[in-house]
Structure 1
Amino acid sequence: MGNRPHIDQAVLHRQAQVAVLAGLLRGDIDALVEAVAPADIPGWFTPDVAVLELAMSALDLASIPGSEPLQYEGLRERYLPEVEFRGRVEHRNSQYALYAASCMRGGLQPDLLNDAGWWQTRLWIYAVYAAVIYSRAAAARRSTTLEQVAHDLAARHGLV
């Protein structure tokens, strides 16, 4: 790490989650990704898990008991139309983040390092997309605002 100041990983974890929730309300996906980027410190911390935890909780909010399951087909197009995934790699990476959050919700911890540690584009970027998708789905399925979903997520993660 050289002369870089030592930043506690728990602080970076929390900062990444706060950045996602604040960015979620602004609605600018590019700015949201930029806001999370400072928490990505190569060789020290990557916000993959922090952001996937939010995506997992958002999926939990979108999964209303007694209602139809959330359908994967068309999920990105419905809830993240402003991002165009090009090529097989981007589609696969996005799919992985959506599936990883779902696995975590079901109690299965994905092997993030072996599955995605070698990717050229960092997993946390796709995790941000998954968090946005599941948060928007939760708002739509609960007939509430994205602001309320963000507040509920913040409360679940002790960020309020």
Structure 2
Amino acid sequence: MAKRVGINLDVLHSRAQIAMLTGVARGDSVHELIDAVAPHHVPGRFAPDVALLELAAAALDLACPPGAEPLEYEGLREGYLPEVTFRGRVEHRNSQYALYAAACMRGGLQPDLLSDAGWWQTPLWQYAVYAVVIYSRAAAERLGLTSQDIAQRIAARRHLQLRAAD
């Protein structure tokens, strides 16, 4: 019987974050970001949902520092992610959940991701990619910075070293 190779979950966690932020810094499309994160999803062993939601929470924190005007949920997806069309109630609800989960994490509440989203057909981490993009774009707009600047600031907060531009 073949011995199962160990998977370091912390390494997958940080690599998923680095892949995501490197793509955001480069200005990659949402589909390219999903493709960049996908190799870090190991079915049955590791999903990068928490790793990505942590990035979304950090981006939201940049967009809405204490005392700042809060973001309005209405129109958030359409305004900051116009290239993605959510079809049907399920996709709308799943994308809403990712945005809300990141906001919960930012506020200190850890959502029950496995119970809430573990059964979804499309994994939560893909919707978390959308949340990172939305909150990063909101932060860039509010702070008058580029996506690259926002990605670098989030990386610094998470103690991550982004890959050099290709």
TM-score under structure 2 normalisation?
0.92
Per the alignment, in what secondary structure is the counterpart of residue 32 of structure 1? helix
Counterparts of 1:77-92 in structure 2, within 5 Å, are: 77-92=78-93
Runs of 4+ in 1 over 4 A off after TM superposition: none
1:91 corresponds to which letter in structure 2? H
Asked whether the 8 Å contact 1:56–1:101 carries over to 2, the reply is yes
Cross-structure match for 1:125: 126
Structure 1, unmatched stretches of 5+, are: none
Cross-structure match for 2:77: 76
Per the alignment, in what secondary structure is the counterpart of residue 141 of structure 1? helix
Asked whether the 8 Å contact 1:100–1:110 carries over to 2, the reply is yes
1:64 and 1:14 map into 2 onto residues whose CA distance is 24
Which moved further from structure 2: 21-30 or 137-146? 21-30
Provide, for residues 114-155 of structure 1, a one-character-per-residue CA deviation record: whole Å limited to 9, x for no partner.
000000000000001000000000000111111110000000
Shift of 1:66: 3.5
Asked whether the 8 Å contact 1:52–1:131 carries over to 2, the reply is yes
Structure 2, unmatched stretches of 5+, are: 162-166
Asked whether the 8 Å contact 1:23–1:29 carries over to 2, the reply is no
TM-score under structure 1 normalisation?
0.95
Asked whether the 8 Å contact 1:62–1:135 carries over to 2, the reply is yes
Counterparts of 1:22-33 in structure 2, within 5 Å, are: 22-25=22-25, 26-33=27-34
1:47 and 1:105 map into 2 onto residues whose CA distance is 17
Cross-structure match for 2:117: 116
Shift of 1:28: 1.1
Identity %: 65
Cross-structure match for 1:102: 103
Shift of 1:91: 0.3
1:135 and 1:126 map into 2 onto residues whose CA distance is 14
1:148 corresponds to which letter in structure 2? D
Per the alignment, in what secondary structure is the counterpart of residue 45 of structure 1? coil
Provide, for residues 54-105 of structure 1, a one-character-per-residue CA deviation record: whole Å limited to 9, x for no partner.
0000000000344321111000011111111111000000000000000001
1:126 corresponds to which letter in structure 2? Y
1:66 and 1:54 map into 2 onto residues whose CA distance is 21
Establish whether residue 53 from structure 1 lines up as the match of residue 54 from structure 2.
yes
Shift of 1:4: 5.7
Establish whether residue 9 from structure 1 lines up as the match of residue 9 from structure 2.
yes
Per the alignment, in what secondary structure is the counterpart of residue 35 of structure 1? helix
Query: Alpha carbon RMSD of aligned pairs, Å?
Result: 1.2
1:94 and 1:159 map into 2 onto residues whose CA distance is 26
